[in-house]
Structures are given as C-alpha cells and as structure tokens.
Amino acid sequence: MIKQSKYIERELYEPINLCDGKGLLNRDCIGWARKPIFNCNLSGRWLRKKKWNYWCITGDECLFSATISNLDYAGMVFIYFIDFKTKKYIEKTVAAPFGKGCVMPDNVNETVLFKNSSMPVSMLHEQNGTHIIADCKDFGGLPLRADILVSTLEGHETLNVVIPWNEKTFQFTSKQEGLPTSGTLCVGDFNYSFQPDKTFSCLDFGRGVWPHKISWNWANASGMSGGKRVGLNLGAKWTDNTGMTENAIVVDGKLTKISENVSFKYDVKNIMQPWIIKSCVTDCIDLVFTPFYERVAKTNALIIKSDMHQMMGHFTGNIKTEDGEVISIDNLAGCAEEHFAKW
C-alpha cells in the first residue's frame, strides 16, 4: 500500500479556542485558517508548554532576527544579525528562569515583551503593524539598537494551523511571510536603513504543548521575485502522520495552502551543499536552496538539549499557486534548518 502524502485539511473561518476546559486539545479547532482566529488558551501542563514569537527581517544588506520564547521552566530570548557582504555575524542569548520578564499573550495580534535590563525587547502590536524595538549595550562587544516597523497589509493572508499529535500534545503556529518592513538597525558602526520595497519580514508565532523529543526541518523566505511579493513556509518531520502540514506559499498577499508533504534532501555531512526541497505529490514546490552561512545553536543543559543548524542562503526554482500560476523564484533570500530538541 502506498502511503498517502496528500492530506484533506479543513479550513476554518470563525474564532475558536485551542484548548478545552481541561487544557486538552479542542478537537474542533484542528485545521487551518487564512487569519489568526485561534485563541491559544493554554492552561495547566506545567513545564510542558512552549511559547515563542520569532521575527526574521531580511534586507538588501543584512538579516536581523529577534525571538522571545518561554519554555515554562526557562525563558530564552535571543537576537542575531549577519551582514551579507562581510559575513560578520553576532548573536546573543539571555536566559530567564521560569520565563521571568517574558510577557506572552494568547493571541497573535497582541504585544509581546521581554523586560530585562541587559537586553530588553519589545514587539508592540500597533494599528499599522508590529513595532520591534531592541536595545543591547553589549552585543558581541558592540551596542545594538533596532527600531523596526513590520507593516500589516489589508487583505494579506497568513498561514495559521493546528498540528495535533494527540489530545495532550499539540501546537498552534502562525507563519506570516512577505511583510514589508521599514526602520533602522545599528550595530556598533554598522548602520542599516530598511525600505519597505526591499525589506521583508517573517513571523513564526508558536503556542503549544510539545512532545519531550522532536526534530524538524523548516524553510522560509520573503522578498520580491519576478515583480511579485513572495513568501515561502515549508516544513517536514514534525508534522508527519498528523493529517496536517505547515506548508504554504503567499504571492502578493494571496495564500496557497499546500496539503501535502514536502521533502528536504541535503547532505548532513556537508550541510553547506545545496538543498533540494520539493512537494511529494504534485509539482507545486520545486526549489534549490543554496546556503552561504551556517548558524549553529547548541544547548546541552540538565533539562534542555537542542541542536540546530540554520542555513542562510537563497532559493531558486518554481512554485505553483492554487490557481495554477507558476512563479519563478530567482535568488530569493531566506533560511532552511535542521533542528533536534529535547525539552
């Protein structure tokens, strides 16, 4: 028997709670939506809940990322940046016991904060978008200041999906790609100005109760290709056998949900070689990802073990919308990663 790779995924339209009154998965919320209609009312399950807001901003000259996360027993807040020309890379992580200082609401369109004297980070929900502010006096020995506005476009569709491992372990994710971005980033003497026609952002919003051990691939990109504003969100491994995927593309604000698995083929012993990323049933995804930088993030603590290889690079190839339009992808900046977590 051939294993089915294309799922029948239910699209939802009305606001709904992620959990029932006992903190278990509300089975009625399994599905996906083009807007963040899910209320992530997590409760109980102490030490197992995972929450994060990850932003990645890609401009002509650099990539900047800020994350606020709370794993219940620890908050992990990190910022990193790479200059594309010089390949200068800096990253800083601040740990907060039991998530102290992390303000992380249940819904996507709300303000997220990390209140900390060494590296305060604000992701302020405003009428016209998300205002990201970060300050750090010692960012690899340099001062850092980020003041960035990610714009919300009327009618822009996003990927919002519930992944159901079982009634006790589940994840809601909102992946928002291709969002025009403006603002400034200063890292020591490096000064960058972001213009909304050349700079685009990705949001990874996650709220859920996770298995103790998990591995995944994730690829994302945002930018202009062929005169169109394009965003990619593709994943593998962690959604296997759940009946749901986190796969989608967005072209000029119109989302195409991809209800089939996507394969990631790469040389684990030489991970800087090109990756082949394709849809498993149809030809809607046919991409080559060529890395230019490898970010390695490893943690081996008493209750946390993580091994991540995040590659920064460019995508080329073709994608196909639900209307059958083939979009040529030419040197689109983004990331692809391999990640194992024991948490």
Residue 46, class by beta-carbon neighbours within 10 Å (0-12 exposed, 13-18 middle, 19+ buried)? exposed
Q: Cα separations (Å) of 156 from 131, 159, 193?
A: 18, 10, 24
β-bridge pairing 285-300 and 275-279 = antiparallel
Instruction: Read off the pLDDT of residues 317-339 as tens digits, 9 standing for 90 and up.
Output: 999 999 999 999 999 999 999 99
What distance in Å separates the CA atoms of residue 45 and residue 154, rounded to the nearest whole number? 37
- The SS3 assignment for 27 reads helix
Mean pLDDT score across all residues of the chain: 95
19 forms beta bridges with 25
Please give the pLDDT value at position 237: 96
Determine how many CB atoms are found less than 10 A away from the CB of residue 307: 15
- In this prediction, residue 6 has a pLDDT band, given cuts at 50, 70 and 90, of low
Please give the pLDDT value at position 4: 43
Strand order in the sheet with 213-225: 254-257, 248-251, 228-236, 213-225, 326-342, 305-320, 285-300, 275-279, 262-265
Residues 13 and 37 sit within 8 Å (Cβ to Cβ): yes
Residues 250 and 264 sit within 8 Å (Cβ to Cβ): no
Residues 59 and 38 sit within 8 Å (Cβ to Cβ): no
Half-sphere exposure at residue 167, Cβ-oriented, CA atoms within 13 angstroms: 8
Please give the pLDDT value at position 302: 63
The residue that leads in pLDDT, 341 or 173, is 173
Please give the pLDDT value at position 7: 74
β-bridge pairing 254-257 and 112-114 = unpaired
Across 61-76, average pLDDT: 95
Please give the pLDDT value at position 149: 98
- In this prediction, residue 298 has a pLDDT band, given cuts at 50, 70 and 90, of confident
What distance in Å separates the CA atoms of residue 175 and residue 33, rounded to the nearest whole number? 11
Please give the pLDDT value at position 300: 76
Instruction: Read off the pLDDT of residues 187-244 as tens digits, 9 standing for 90 and up.
Output: 999 999 999 999 999 999 999 999 999 999 999 999 999 899 999 999 999 999 999 9
Across 7-17, average pLDDT: 95
Instruction: Read off the pLDDT of residues 91-150 as tens digits, 9 standing for 90 and up.
Output: 999 999 999 999 999 999 999 999 999 999 999 999 999 999 999 999 999 999 999 999
What distance in Å separates the CA atoms of residue 168 and residue 164, rounded to the nearest whole number? 9
Q: What percent of the chain has pLDDT over 90?
A: 91
Closest residue by Cα to residue 15 from 203, 178, 160, 222: 160
Tokens of 73: 């027993």
Residues 91 and 63 sit within 8 Å (Cβ to Cβ): no
Q: Cα separations (Å) of 3 from 7, 149, 261, 283?
A: 11, 44, 11, 18
Q: What is the pTM of this model?
A: 0.95
Domain borders along the chain are 16-342
Instruction: Read off the pLDDT of residues 277-294 as tens digits, 9 standing for 90 and up.
Output: 999 999 999 999 999 999
Map tokens 């992530």 to a residue.
40
What distance in Å separates the CA atoms of residue 318 and residue 320, rounded to the nearest whole number? 7
101 forms beta bridges with none
Half-sphere exposure at residue 307, Cβ-oriented, CA atoms within 13 angstroms: 5
Residues 308 and 300 sit within 8 Å (Cβ to Cβ): no
Q: Based on C-alpha coordinates, what's the Rg of the chain? A: 19
Q: What is the 3-state secondary structure (H, E, C) of 290-312?
A: EEEEEEEEEEECCCCEEEEEEEE
